[in-house]
Amino acid sequence: MLPQPLLATALEYIFAKMTTIHNFQIGTWQRQFLAELLQVLLRMRGRVNFTNMARYSAFSEQTFRRHFQKAFRWVALNLTILRLRRHPREPLIGVFDCTFVPKSGTESYGIGQFFSSAAGRRERGQEVSILGVVATKSREAFGIDAAQTPADLSGGDSSEENSSEGYSSVDFYIEQIQDLQGPLAELGVSYWVGDGFYAKRKVFRAVTEMDGDLVTRLRSDANLRYLYTGPRKQGPGAPKLYDGKINFDCPGQIERRFEEVGRLADRTHVEIWTTVANSPHFKRTLRIVLLRNPRTERSLLLCSTDTEQAADEIVRYYRLRYQIEFVIRDAKQHTGLTHCQARSQEKIDFHLNMSVAGVNLLRLMAGTADCSLRTYRRLAYNRFLTGRLFSELG
């Protein structure tokens, strides 16, 4: 199995498709550098930094540093790989999540206090917001854009609705989605899925203004009201709109006023209940889905701004959101998401998006070779090492 010539040919084809589909012209020198960079990224061992990349390439360390400062449309590259990997008629959903990146030093751009899920607390480092799409049938995830969160923004947890707080990290995440709304809408992305952190009025409002729908998780004690469906009151006055607050601590009320639509296919003891309710906090009507586990007496509350969406589809979309976590995992394990050797904003942005694009490319090539990501990288390294040995032996 000889992966390197196939990779070089694939890169030439991808660059040609980028020019055709996205009307994006790549300069000759940048094309040569990117072709070499992506091949080095998939065959190298150890840390992905300038010093180590130069050991696996004919380019010098200074060449890598210089090119990392130049802008490149990584979104166009990722969308081109997406078109090569997915079936044209397979529905896509948009997903977004953040990850913590440890970073030492004091002069690097964006260093601040961010939440680390691994540590379970806020730590000093950098944060990266990853936006991607998931194919709903094949369950494949594709990273589309990586943006570093500025360090001087408020978290937007409790005061994000207060306009006096100014520009927050939530606003930054929303702008990232808005910037990619056009190209992703052309691919048919209308549903956006995020975890419970993104259940905020700003996010609901931004997604609906883009003619999309948001699927997310609500607090287990969310304030929700039943919609009134009885006869209209006779006489003057406004008609009755709501019919009491939903009490999730009362199983009898749930069974009486919710509709049971089935159970999870892989966990048949988990019940799926649904209704359409109003949220005073978000100031909108939502499709509510309650996942209830009678064995542990625990529940999970999901919602969608599309009140006509099927409950089982909401559950499936939310569970597919976790596929973006595998993109982040592979970027950290295989393409050096946490290994950046630069300090400037431009070089860090180039490195982060290179890592995400490298995962997409690595999955494409490993799928072509019918092997795992680690096996493909090992084969690429073995071929490179064999070629180097023969070239030195003469």
Q: What DSSP string describes 290-302?
A: EEEETTTTEEEEE
**Which stretch of DSSP H or E encloses residue 147?**
strand 141-148
Residue 161 has pLDDT above 70, yes or no: no
**0.75 cut: is pTM over it?**
yes
Q: Encoding tokens for residue 68?
A: 């990392």
Give pLDDT tens digits for 215-262: 999 998 899 999 988 888 777 778 888 888 999 888 888 889 999 999
Cα separation of 326 and 329, whole Å? 5
Residue 164 has pLDDT above 70, yes or no: no
- Residue 276, exposed/middle/buried by CB under 10 A (0-12, 13-18, 19+)? middle
Residue 87 has pLDDT above 80, yes or no: no
Average predicted confidence (pLDDT) for the chain: 90
Give pLDDT tens digits for 195-206: 999 999 999 999
Task: Give the pLDDT of residue 158.
Answer: 43
